[in-house]
Amino acid sequence: MHRFSNTLLALMLATAALLAALPATAQSLSWPTKAWATSSPEEQGMSSEALGRLVDFGAANAMDSLLVTRHGKIVLDATYAPFQAGLKHRMYSSTKSVISTLIAMALRDGKLDSVDRKILDFFPDLTIANLDDAKKAITIRHLLDMTSGLEWVEGLSGPPESYIAMARSPNWVQFILDRPMAAAPGSVFYYDSGNSHLLSAILTKVTGLSARDYAQQMLFGPLGIEDVLWRHDPQGISTGGEGLYLQPRDMAKIGYLYLRNGQWEGRREGKQILPQSWIEGVAKSDIDMRESWASRLRYGSQFWVIPGKDAYMAVGYHRQLIVVMPRLDIVVVATGSSRFAAGGGQPMTPRYGFETLVGNIEAAVKAETPLPADPLAMASLAERLRDAAREKPVPAGGPSELAKTVSDRTYRFDGNRLNIKSLTLKFDDPQPSYEYEIDGGQSFVPAGRYGGPIGFDGNYRIGGRMPFGPSAARGAWLADGKSLVIDVQTLGNDDAVRVTHVFDGKTVDLEFEWAGGSSKLKLQGRADN
C-alpha cells in the first residue's frame, strides 16, 4: 500500500507538472467576449522589467497604444498621451486582414464556393474598360495575395496615387476594374489596396450585406466587439483597403481568434468561428513582396508573415499591428501616428522594424510557467505606464491683444481641396475653442460643423467633435502678436496638423503642415464683419 501510494503520488505530481507546462490552449482558457482578464507579467511567465523597456520603446517610436496578451490575459496595456484608453483607432491597412477573415467566413458559410472564382463573374452589370483575357483570369485568390496584375500606383514605399484617385472617383469598383493590366495574374506581387476593396465589394455581392454588417453578424458580434466605425465608398461598400476603426482591446480579440485556431469560447459550444485550415494557410504564407527592406517578410491572404519568428500580422500604415505569436501563446496590438514632438522638435512617425518589436516581445518571455513575483520591477513598470499616459507640454507662449479682436469672427473660404467653408475662433469664453464647417462633404469627410476646445497652457484640450473621433488641440500666440499656431488632431485618426493663422484686418491666412509629411497647403479667409 505504501509503495502504491508513492507511485500514485508520483503520477499525480508528474501530471500536475505536465499540465502546468502545457500552453493555454490545453488548459482552461480565458475568453474576452465581455472583457479581457488581466494579469501580472510574472504570472504568465514574462518579465515586468523587459516589458517596462518595451513601454519606453513605444514612447520613442510614436506609438499611441501597445497591448500584450499571453495565455488569454492582458499583461501590458500602455496608452500614450494624448491618445486615451477607450478610444477607437484607425487601423489603416489592418482592415485588409479583417476583409480576408470575412472572405474565409463566406467560404465557410457557402456564400463563396472557391477562392479560384473569377472576379468578373460577380460584376456582370458593369461595362469594364481595357478588358482582355488577362483581366478575365483574375481570381479571388489573386486579390487576396496582391497578385491581380492590375495597373496601380501605390506599392509599399511610394505615394498611394491610385488610391487617392480612386477615392476621388464617383464609383470605386468601376475605377479599379477599369485599370489596364500591368502583369499576368498570379505572376508578381504588387501592393494594391484596390484589390482589397474589390474583395469587400464581392462580399457584398454574395452576402447582400456590407462588410461592416456581415462582420457584425459573423465576427464582431460573437467576439463582443461593439464600438465600430467603418468608412464606405459612395455606393455604401465598406472600404476594403483601409477605413476600419476599432479599440485596441477589440483589435486584440481578432488576433486572439487566430491564436485559438478559429475557436471562440471553446469546442463544447461548437463555436468554430473561423476554419482552422484558413488560419494554417495564413501562417504559412510565402509570397515574396520584392522589397529590400522586407526581404525576410512574406505575404498572403492579406496578412504579413515573419517566418523565422513564428509570427504573422495584420499590418497598417504607421504600424497599426495585430501580431499573432502561436508558439509563445501571445497576441500583440500596437497603434501609432505621426505627431509634432514636444519642445518644437521634428515630427515623429512610427518606423520601427517588425522583427525588432517581435524580438523585444520574445525577450520578455522567460518561462511557460509562472515566475516569482518581482515587486520592484512591477512598480517600475506601473510608473512607466503612468508616465506614458501623461502629456508632455510644449512652451505655451504669451497672450495677444489681437485675440479680443478676432474672437467670434467667422472667416469664409473659397472652394479648396479641404472643403473648408468657414472658421470661427472663440477666445472670450472661459474655454477657448475653434469651429469649422465642411461644405458639400467628401466620401471620407461628411459635411458638417466640427471643432473643440484649445489649450493655451502647453497641453492639449480634448473634446468636441471631429469627423472620426474627439479633437485634441493646443495653441500659442507667436511673438509678433498677430500669428496663432494651433496643433490639432483627431485622437486615433493619425491626422495631426499644425495650422498657422496670420491675421491682417479682416483676412486670415492659414498654412497647414501635416505631421505625416503631406505637402503644405495655404488658404485665405475673409471675415463677415
CB 424 within 8 A of CB 409: yes
* 131-159 pLDDT tens trace: 999 999 999 999 999 999 999 999 998 88
Local structure of residue 387 (DSSP, 8 states): H
How many Å apart are CA 69 and CA 331, to the nearest integer? 5
The reported pTM is: 0.93
* Residue 439, domain member (yes or no): yes
Q: Please report where in the chains the cell 523587459 appears, as a residue.
A: 50
Determine, yes or no, domain membership for 304.
Answer: no
Closest CA to 344 of 492, 478, 501, 463: 478
Q: Say how far apart CA 437 and CA 425 lie, in whole Å.
A: 12
Question: In CATH, what number is assigned to the domain containing residue 503?
Answer: 2.40.128.20
Domain residues for 471? Answer: 402-527
Q: Is the pLDDT of residue 383 over 90?
A: yes
Residues whose CB is less than 8 angstroms from the CB of residue 9 and which lie 6 or more positions away in sequence, other chains included: none
Q: How confident is the model at residue 28 (pLDDT cuts 50, 70, 90)?
A: confident
* d(C-alpha 483, C-alpha 175), whole Å: 43
**Cell numbers at residue 396, please?**
505655451
DSSP string for residues in 361-390:
HHHHB--SSPPPP-HHHHHHHHHHHHHHHS
Q: Which residue has better confidence, 394 or 362?
A: 362
Task: Decide: 68 and 75 in contact? Cβ < 8 Å.
Answer: yes
Name the pLDDT band for 470 (thresholds 50, 70, 90).
Answer: very high
pLDDT of residue 5: 41
Mean pLDDT on 326-331:
98
270: which 3 cell numbers?
461548437
Query: Does residue 409 belong to any structural domain of this protein?
Result: yes
Structural domain count, the chain: 1
Using an 8 Å Cβ cutoff, are 426 and 405 in contact?
no
Q: Are 336 and 355 in contact (CB under 8 A)?
A: no
Assigned domain for 10 exists: no
Question: Cell 494594391 maps to which residue?
Answer: 192
Residue 413 in any domain: the answer is yes
pLDDT at 36: 98
d(CA 10, CA 6): 6
pLDDT at 267: 54
DSSP 26-67: GSPPP--SS--EE--TGGGTB-HHHHHHHHHHHHHTTEEEEE
User: Is the pLDDT confidence value at 97 over 70?
Assistant: yes
Cα separation of 221 and 201, whole Å? 21
Residue 509 lies in a domain: yes
Share of the chain above pLDDT 70, in %: 92
Overall average pLDDT of the 403-411 stretch: 95
Q: What is the mean pLDDT of the chain?
A: 92
pLDDT reading at 4 higher than 50 = no
Decide if pLDDT at 23 tops 80.
no
CA gap 104, 466 in Å, rounded? 34
pLDDT at residue 465, rounded to an integer: 94
Q: Residue 462 domain-assigned?
A: yes
Of these ranges, 267-276, 305-314, 435-444, the one predicted with the greatest mean pLDDT is 305-314
Cβ atoms < 10 Å from Cβ of 466: 21
Position 276 in a domain: no
Nearest to 469 by CA among 245, 145, 139, 316: 245
